[in-house]
Amino acid sequence: MVPTLSDSAYRDIKRRILDLRLPPGTAFTEGELVADLGLSKTPIRDALARLRQEGLVEAIARSGYRVTPVTIKDARDLMSLRTLLEGEAAALAASRGTELGLLKELEDLCMTSYEPGDRDSIVNFLTANHEFHLAVAQLSGNWWLAETLRQVLEQLERVMHVGLALTSRADEIVHEHKDLVTAILSGDADKAREVAVAQSHKAQLMVLSGLLSSDAILSTNLGVLSSELPIPLPSNGRTKSA
């Protein structure tokens, strides 16, 4: 199917939201997007309707729109769901055996790294990282699990940008990916689940530590202040309830 102007507008605006060129809390109007993207109001309006359904944009009465802020609770809840999904995906992938094509893809994606503070580098890394985890989910043989994980990773991309910009874990993440591939190849479902869950907990701690490191980061990147929602960090690899 040939992409429509509405599809193009949707992808462009969504990409700007996810990579923080339009940070959470940013107010904007249809007219500004029309001028910026060089499109008419109709495709812009259609794109914004789709983004509202996804919870990335909200309408402001009589003044336009704004990018939906992200709360610390949002981040924690999404990270916890990611942990559940990735643990199960890894276990199922190990128990089913491997498909050579996807395994080669996993091995290639393991090598992608990034430079903290470099937006383009982080965008490329997050793209490869998402593809890596989705490939694991595809090996599970459960389409719904893979699709749900895709949506969770997409929603998490904004907060992952902040965490990676503040923390240099490139070499560690590459090593973690290799460990997960090895665990899946072992055919041991329990071991694969254990490795996937442990790695997801590390990512959660990195992201939440970055987000809570200062009010300036929170207000600039997420549109909220830590004092507005004081939720403790996970302890010993386990998440506390909010």
Return the pLDDT at 170. 62
* Domain range for 155: 72-228
122 in the same domain as 42:
no
User: Do residue 77 and residue 183 come from a single domain?
Assistant: yes
Residue 44 in domain: yes
Do 27 and 108 share a domain, yes or no?
A: no
Low-confidence ranges of the chain (pLDDT < 70): 98-104, 109-110, 165-171, 210, 213-242
- 110 and 35 within one domain: no
The alpha-helical segments, DSSP class H, found in 97-142 are 100-109, 119-139
Q: If you write DSSP's letter for every residue of 164-175 in order, what string do you get?
A: HHH---HHHHHH
Contact yes or no for 20/31 (Cβ under 8 A): no
pLDDT tens-digit profile of 189-199? Answer: 999 999 999 99
What's the pLDDT at 238?
36
Residues 173 and 141 in one domain: yes
Look at residues 15, 35, 67 and tell me which one is the last residue of a structural domain: 67
Look up residue 21 and give its amino acid.
R
Is 84 inside any structural domain?
Answer: yes
Select from 51, 67, 83 the last residue of a domain: 67
Here the tokens at position 1 are 């199917």
Tell whether 239 is covered by a domain.
Answer: no
Q: Is the CA virtual torsion 83, 163, 50, 131 positive or negative?
A: negative
Structural tokens at position 237? 């690899």
Q: Say what the pLDDT of residue 166 is.
A: 65
CATH code, domain carrying 78: 1.20.120.530
Cβ within 8 Å of residue 155, ≥6 positions away:
55, 74, 78
The residue out of 25, 43, 67 marking a domain boundary is: 67
Packing angle of the helix pair 143-166, 72-96 (nearest 10 deg): 130
**Overall domain count for the chain:** 2
**Together in a domain, 57 and 97:** no
